[in-house]
Chains A and B, each alone.
Chain A
């Protein structure tokens, strides 16, 4: 526990440089309680969240709302910038006690805690939540595989079986989690939405259509996939440092067109849009509605995954060719200027980020070297090889896919584009049978730790479905490095070693990163943008902070 705090102090300094830009937050980080209470708002997302089930949800579309519905044992302070990265107790009474060997975490579930439907919370519900993540082969499974007995539980294929490393006492509320090896980021894992508590009666199935009750300031009362879902305030919710929310009801509509979303926010038919406004309206919005529009940096990395288990990207020269040819300045235009070009996988603000200067394959702010890239493809004997590029249909993603497809054709490959609906994109490319060769990926930090990014290229995280190692990178040196460094309780103390590991990944061209994206907040006129708009560094816009004027 002490180690975590010292790590956090150092982490705060790192975060401050990148995201501690203030964004107008209160110094006490508890803005939500000061807003006007009551009322209903309608907001929009561009595509249906991948799941409205804490065990399966793994995109920003789902984590942003579910953060308010399923409180895990630990959570983050509701604040912007560096303060928002501070771990605080959620469903647990206090931060866990960690054994001297770093393998055992003990915490106690708060007394008298109840789900939104009134069911008392039990300590064993935590084990049930973890079992659901593992048995449903969630994208977050790898986060819990370090628990003693987790692998055996998965192999046994019995959802109701036991995970030996989790002991829960419903009488006292005590939970003990035993790991097979120390994991310096395990407190952060206990703060992910995956660890959000659900009743033990929750079935081992995707519950998106009927989201289970949770512990949080809001509950999902209506879920009509691809149309809308409704979150309503839970009366009596009371966990210290977690705001109870201001508005009574939040209706999230799925509105494909970013133009329509923006126009509806301007006209007052929508109160907030999760997507960035389209390029078309951004200039006008920046000028005319500057009091309720802001852009903010994210702890994210945008990259093209290159499946090294399939030709032609099983050849390092072809992967290098992609990196050599990439022109981040062209991509920045497709992001309407909201992209900070970089060749790093670990973004600024995360320990272990060390700007690669010079980048191994050329200046990220300069044009790519197409001639050299073409030469590399020819040397690899891959000229004319067929490649399918995967992209989703969220704002600007098809255009990025078209840029990338044209680029691959320019360097001598025979590429075609396949655009998949945003709601199922990551499930599709994360399915082994899809055999996705390459495509778009954007990764937002699950927690402020380098492991959150490096695990995307850690071979031990590969799984047949919901795989998040999209490029099937399986480099023993990186696997060993991630395993070893993850054990360190203080990520900042080994930041240079994380940076070394990242450099190896970039030099081997396991991925083709091109920068970090800035996101936006655009609110309607009736929203109190000045006092009630909190952007959390990990979860984005905090809906519980929203309030009406």
Chain B
């Protein structure tokens, strides 16, 4: 008796050591982000937005300015307080890095989830109904697809940065993280909806769908109980890559000033404020940059492993478009 595709995929994934190591790295990063309040209160004893421009700390038995009179912040101390040094406002970089991880990962995960939800709905409806419904959906996706991701993200982010978003009962305040989530989710919908639509087009011709129709199943039921379960593996394969892309886009938006609004930290806005101090305080940009690289690398390698596990023959078929 054969094994279910899920069991087979899991078995293949377990054999992919590299993917598992990077998957574990991502878990560690998530745990570190979750532990941010613990580090802030028990180790550093500083809140992430606690400024301290005129403060002093003891270094080698003498009192040293956290931010010097000419504005240069203290570097890494390799101890609880100011482990990775301070920023221009005298805030603890390590604490902000961990809290930034929470924001960056939260936005990345939520945006990826929303992308998956929207893309699945669009792909299902377009593929199942075909005709003008498909034509409208496909054209809309093509229009979004036509814009470079960052350009579209920045344009939407800028447009919503001042007035927020109001669509019927949905109201998102300007400057809230929900704006970033929605923007990122929307710009990535075509990248997931198009393959899903293609798969639905193939699935709807299959016998089990015809059988469901013959038994009187309506469109909604057919989509929910016959097509959706067959799309799960596609969605699962896309998930880590979508999270990686969303985290990266969030960093880009925050770097450009239309993502997470300071003083709330995110890796993107930390890099932005640190990049002007690469000579005297390189830790300000390097630390969040490194976290970003590790996260995206972990998710990409793990995502590749998941993809290979589900369909080892078609690693090229899932190739993502250069963004």
Contacts and interface: CB of A to CB of B under 8 A. Distances in A.
Interface of A is mostly: helix
Given A284-B279, A399-B88, A279 B72 contact: yes
B93 to A, nearest CB: 14
Contacts, number: 96
Given A282-B70, A336-B71, A337-B69, A402 B263 contact: yes
Interface of B: 49-51, 53-54, 67-72, 88-89, 162, 174-175, 257, 261-263, 273, 275-281
Contacts of A406: 49-51, 89, 263
Interface in A275-295: 278-284
Interface string A173-207: 00000000000000000000000000000000000
Contacts of B50: 406
Interface of B is mostly: loop
Contacts of B275: 257, 259
B279 A417 contact: no
A405 interface: yes
19 contacts: A259-B276, A279-B88, A279-B277, A280-B277, A280-B280, A283-B72, A329-B54, A333-B68, A333-B70, A336-B70, A336-B71, A402-B49, A402-B51, A406-B50, A407-B51, A416-B175, A417-B262, A417-B263, A420-B162
Interface in A412-427: 416-421
Interface in A304-340: 327, 329-337
Given A280-B276, A282-B70, A406-B263, A393 B51 contact: no
Given A334-B89, A405-B263, A419-B262, 16 more contacts: A278-B277, A279-B277, A279-B280, A330-B51, A333-B67, A367-B54, A395-B276, A399-B273, A402-B49, A402-B262, A403-B51, A403-B89, A405-B49, A406-B50, A417-B263, A419-B261
A336 B73 CA distance: 11
Contacts of A257: 275-276
Interface residues of A, number: 39
A417 B276 CA distance: 20
Contacts of B279: 280-281, 284
A-B pairs with the 9 shortest C-beta distances?
A330-B53, A336-B71, A279-B71, A406-B51, A280-B277, A278-B276, A402-B263, A337-B70, A280-B280
A331 B71 CA distance: 9
A398 interface: yes
Given A281-B279, A398-B273, A409-B49, A416 B261 contact: yes
Contacts of B51: 330, 402-403, 406-407
A418 B260 CA distance: 11
Contacts of A335: 71
Contacts of A409: 49
A416 to B, nearest CB: 6
Interface string A324-358: 00010111111111000000000000000000000
